[in-house]
Amino acid sequence: MKPKVIVYKKLEPVVLEYVQEACEVVYFEKIDENTAAAFYEELKNAEGLLGSGLKVDHELLEKAPHLKIVSNISVGYDNLDISELNRRGIMATNTPNVLNETVADTMIGLLLAAARRIPELDHYVKSGKWTSHLTPTHFGVDMHHKTLGIIGMGRIGAAIAKRAHFGFGMNILYHNRTRNEEVERTYMATHRTLEELCQEADFICLMVPLTPETKNLIGETEFALMKNTAIFVNGSRGATVDEEALVGALQNGQILAAGLDVFVEEPVRHDHPLLSMPNVVTLPHIGSATSETRIGMAQFAAENLVLGLQGKKPPALLTQDPSNR
């Protein structure tokens, strides 16, 4: 008898077929107040969960007595209570590496779009305002040969450093819990304290996971340290930044511009002050959103799921291996 799994994210047919070969699949397009009762009923006998964004905590796990694995279609896993999953001997997995290059492309795009005011000037042309020669009020700033500070030098941070160093001739500073000798050697990157990085960098890119330690990591103090010509981009999680402090820093001219792929509340409310600022480039959390990468992430997550249900160790295991307990 095949193990029952609940899928709560639309999968490409090839990925869904792979899961169905090994599992009995129950699919929910979304889990909300209209589908919650049916979801919890199916959860009673489910051995696996496959999707992204679902909060898996004590309350949910109490309703899932047969659960063996939770497979996140995401590199981030702040929706998972890892300590509770460990306590229950339930595996949890994510999808690292598959999206590194794609997210790095997005972050470079955000940096460049904010520096050269691309969305703002695109609107300027399309709204019929381009009726004469441009003046310095329309100019952006150079990105090449400037200093980029990367906060969070993991695999994605390193991929951003590669593009910035070799593609734009940028000087790389980074702040990380541990030194990364490979990026220091390969991209001539220099380790800095968070305070030093904020003071020295022309561009600042935030790429840390969301943890209790990184919540509101960048706030009033950090923005006050930045150059008034600095451009700040966030590709991590919205809650790693104090959004009120960011709004204030932009309004007060403490920093020049910002590029955001993430927000505290997603989807972001339409009347959020950041959305009315021409010097803020906003994206709807699309860091990894290309067809190729999303299919690769889903396939990786599906493989994690199936291997875990077969009693094997998934390659991207976040929790303790139950076989070693």
pLDDT of residue 169: 98
Same domain as 259, residue 173:
yes
Q: What is the CATH number of the domain that holds 221?
A: 3.40.50.720
Amino acid in the structure at residue 43: L
Same domain as 19, residue 138:
no
Q: Is the pLDDT of residue 287 over 60?
A: yes
Q: Is the pLDDT of residue 322 over 80?
A: no
Average pLDDT over all residues of the chain? 96
Helix (H) or strand (E) holding 5: strand 4-7
Q: Is the pLDDT of residue 5 over 90?
A: yes
Same domain as 106, residue 93:
no
Q: Is the pLDDT of residue 215 over 80?
A: yes
pLDDT digit string, tens, across residues 58-83:
999 999 999 999 999 999 899 999 99
128 inside domain: yes
Same domain as 130, residue 76:
no
287 inside domain: no
pLDDT digit string, tens, across residues 216-234:
999 999 999 999 999 999 9
Which tokens hold the place of 246?
A: 């960011």
254 inside domain: yes
Report how many domains make up the chain. 2
Q: Is the pLDDT of residue 6 over 90?
A: yes
* CA separation for the pair 70, 54 (Å, rounded): 10
Which tokens hold the place of 243?
A: 């959004």
The label of the residue with tokens 């695999």 reads 155
Same domain as 242, residue 174:
yes
Note down the domain range covering 265.
Answer: 100-282
* CA separation for the pair 222, 285 (Å, rounded): 23
* CA separation for the pair 72, 161 (Å, rounded): 27
Same domain as 254, residue 155:
yes
* CA separation for the pair 292, 233 (Å, rounded): 24
Asked if residue 231 lies in contact with residue 257, where contact means CB atoms within 8 angstroms, the answer is yes
Same domain as 110, residue 240:
yes
Same domain as 132, residue 184:
yes
67 inside domain: yes
Same domain as 248, residue 304:
no
Asked if residue 156 lies in contact with residue 104, where contact means CB atoms within 8 angstroms, the answer is yes
CA-wise closest residue to 108 among 256, 210, 214, 261: 261
Calculate mean pLDDT across residues 73-94. 95
Calculate mean pLDDT across residues 275-292. 97
Looking at the annotation, which residues are catalytic?
237, 266, 285
Same domain as 130, residue 45:
no
Q: What are the residues whose beta carbons fall under 8 Å from the beta carbon of 205, sequence distance 6 or more? A: 107, 111, 148, 149, 150, 151, 157, 160, 233, 235
Which tokens hold the place of 178?
A: 């541990």
* CA separation for the pair 315, 301 (Å, rounded): 10
Same domain as 213, residue 144:
yes
119 inside domain: yes
Q: Is the pLDDT of residue 324 over 60?
A: yes
135 inside domain: yes
Q: Is the pLDDT of residue 310 over 90?
A: yes
CB atoms within 10 A of CB 171: 18
253 inside domain: yes
Same domain as 273, residue 142:
yes
With a pLDDT cut of 90, the percent of the chain lying above it is: 97
222 inside domain: yes
Q: Is the pLDDT of residue 140 over 80?
A: yes
Q: Is the pLDDT of residue 286 over 80?
A: yes
Q: Is the pLDDT of residue 325 over 70?
A: no
pLDDT of residue 321: 80
